Structure 1
Amino acid sequence: MFEDIMWKKASSSIDGDRIDPSGKIFFKMEDLKVGKTMAIYLTNKDPSTSPHLLSREEANSIPFSSAKIAQIIDFFRFSKDSDQAKAIEYTIKQCELEPLEDELRFCATSLESMLDYASSLLGKKAQLQVFTTTFVGNPTVPFRNYTILAVPERIRSTKMVACHTLPYPYAVFYCHNTPKSETRLFKVLLGAENGDRVRALAACHMDTSRWDVDHVSFQLLKIKPGSSPVCHVFPADNLVWVALPA
């Protein structure tokens, strides 16, 4: 799940009580109110320099398997010891992990495969809508204090599929949902001290009793598994698909 991927990234930068700012995306549900100020890490990536989604035909023509990692690295002409090669291996292994309990997962290597997967879980005839975090302007400081400026708006949907970017030469999305666990989705207007604004997408996981006891969110929020819902903002390059109410 995304929360576990973020935990692995953040935990690799934990030094004693120091946690990499990029892991500071978590907050308590009780903080989801007008006037609350929180330190949050959000980046506005330049689409022109970000990996692009391939067509299904293009994606299917390139191997995507741990058994073909050497071939994939050679295809993209990376050195086997390069950071890019390590990222390829990391992403493919993440995509081949067994799903967690109460989790359905899929790695989408094309827009068509992402839509097919979302439709298969949310309903072939369902009206789908996609949400993401968007910036008003182009902030240059990723980690700063943000204040909630308006009453958070809950997105009313009983089903959702969250898709998170993984490091790869082209766009790869780790898509998943947890049908038996309640997750609430909110649109949250955030304002920084310098006037920058973010229309953030946030999720609150109502049951964390089965999360890893060492999850970075528990360290940041000073809570225990199952003691409180855990919320987080989605990075701007993540997508969340929902089935709109009939």
Structure 2
Amino acid sequence: MASSVTILFLLLSIISMGGALASSKPSGSSDPLIGEVCSTQSHLVCTNYDDVQATSIAADQVATAASMRDASIQTINDLQEDFFLESSLVEGRKIAIHNNLNDPAPSRPFVPSSAVSSLPELTTYNALDIMSYFGVARDSSMATAIVTAAYLCGGAALPGEAKSCAASTKALAAFVASELGNNVSIYATKGAPTTYSTSTSHVKAPVTILKVAKGSVEEGRKIVVCHHLAFPSALYYCHAVTGTKVIQATLKTEGRLRAAYIKAMAVCHLNTELWLSRHPAFKALNIARGDEACHFLVENDLVFTRALQTSG
């Protein structure tokens, strides 16, 4: 008999790979994001959040809503920063990263499972309905974020990829399971200090590379990366990509009275031949289309791989 799709997480906290340093957060400290996504009690379904209260706003033309989005964002790639070449990730070297890898989009709970079915489909056409659903004013920055997210989620997948926008843990789990199977491991950047305001993603500061674990997670195979989007509730743009290498680097912040240690996750794309010619990595790294390119992930992003097989 068929049963609902569940994902068995072998590791509920982020795995230290290849001798990478442990997170600077005290042991036993909770992480709300991982706690929501990796709930063993509900198999990735988060509950106990307040119901979303919808209020109405004035109706408008769909074209007007479409014009409200951030026009600088054409694909999910335009939200990525901190590109680097794998060869530059050398222990002891200083590099510069944005905002200590803090996510400029505030972390929010998922829409409760009981309310997901009433959430309008995430397309630009429904942008005004989504604003009404959450009671968001048209002249607010959140309105721009909603239309931008709806544009990204409603568009086609990038070449060579499969994608899904998940507004609930159940949807996120279903997509991951459909691409990787039910037995997976989860990784995320941890320990990003809040030195800089998360209202901007343009503050760049140096960090020192202390430890690097390269290519230790099923190099070249399919992974799922879920990027956290700005939205009134938790929303992830998840895409399945192949030909990748997952990297963890321990970074030490500079210019602080007490150093902070960031366990930073990154993904290296071994072949960028299918990427658009306008991809920001090509300009940032001065590389040709097809060359390998890597980028760090901000703290709220998630990486899923097939769980490593154990002998016995």
**TM-score by structure 2 length?**
0.66
Q: Describe how 1:125-164 pairs up with structure 2 within 5 A.
A: 126=183, 128-135=184-191, 138-140=194-196, 143-157=204-218, 158-164=221-227
Find 2:285's aligned residue among 214, 217, 221.
221
Tell me the distance in 1 between the aligned counterparts of 2:280 and 2:128.
33
Shift of 1:45: 5.2
**Cα distance in 2 between the residues matched to 1:120 and 1:189:** 31
Partner SS state of residue 149, structure 2: helix
Q: By how many angstroms is 1:165 displaced?
A: 0.9
5+ residue gaps, structure 1:
10-22
Which structure has the larger Rg?
2
Aligned to 2:13: none
CA–CA distance in 2 between the matches of 1:3 and 1:71?
22
Question: Structure 1's 68 and 122: CA in aligned 2 closer, same or farther, altered over 3 A?
Answer: same
Return the letter of the residue paired with 1:139: T
Residue 305 of structure 2 aligns to a residue whose secondary structure is strand
Where in structure 2 are there 5+ consecutive unaligned residues? 1-72, 198-202
Question: What secondary structure is seen at the aligned counterpart in 2 of 1:200?
Answer: strand
Tell me, in whole angstroms, the C-alpha distance in 2 between the residues paired with 1:232 and 1:214. 16
Q: Secondary structure at the match of 2:211?
A: coil
Identical-pair percentage? 27
Supply the AA of the counterpart residue of 1:131.
Y
What does the per-residue CA deviation read over 1:131-163, in whole Å, with 9 as the maximum and x for residues that have no partner? 000116543375211121123243322331110
The Cα shift of 1:183 comes to 0.6
SS of 2:232 mapped into structure 1: coil
Partner of 1:51: 108
Q: How far 1:237 moved relative to its partner? A: 0.6
Counterparts of 1:102 and 1:154, CA distance in 2? 21
Name the CA distance, whole Å, in 1 between partners of 2:159 and 2:146. Answer: 26
Q: Give how far 1:35 is off.
A: 1.8
Which runs of structure 2 are paired with 1:94-243 in the superposition (5 Å)? Answer: 94-124=152-182, 126=183, 128-135=184-191, 138-140=194-196, 143-157=204-218, 158-178=221-241, 181-194=242-255, 195-226=259-290, 228-243=291-306
Q: Match of 1:38, as an amino acid?
A: I
Q: CA 1:214–1:108 in structure 2 vs 1: closer, same or farther (change >3 Å)? A: same
Q: Structure 1's 65 and 174: CA in aligned 2 closer, same or farther, altered over 3 A?
A: closer
Query: Secondary structure of the equivalent of 2:212?
Result: coil
* Counterpart Cα distance in 1 of 2:212 and 2:128: 50
Report the structure, 1 or 2, having the larger strand content.
1
Q: Secondary structure at the residue paired with 2:171? A: helix
Describe the shift of the 1:89–1:140 C-alpha distance in structure 2 as closer, same or farther (beyond 3 A): closer
How much does 1:60 deviate?
1.9
In structure 1, C-alpha distance between the alignment counterparts of 2:120 and 2:209, rounded to whole Å:
44
Contact 1:131 1:241 in 2 (8 A): yes
- The aligned length equals 225
- How far apart are residue 36 of structure 1 and its match? 2.3
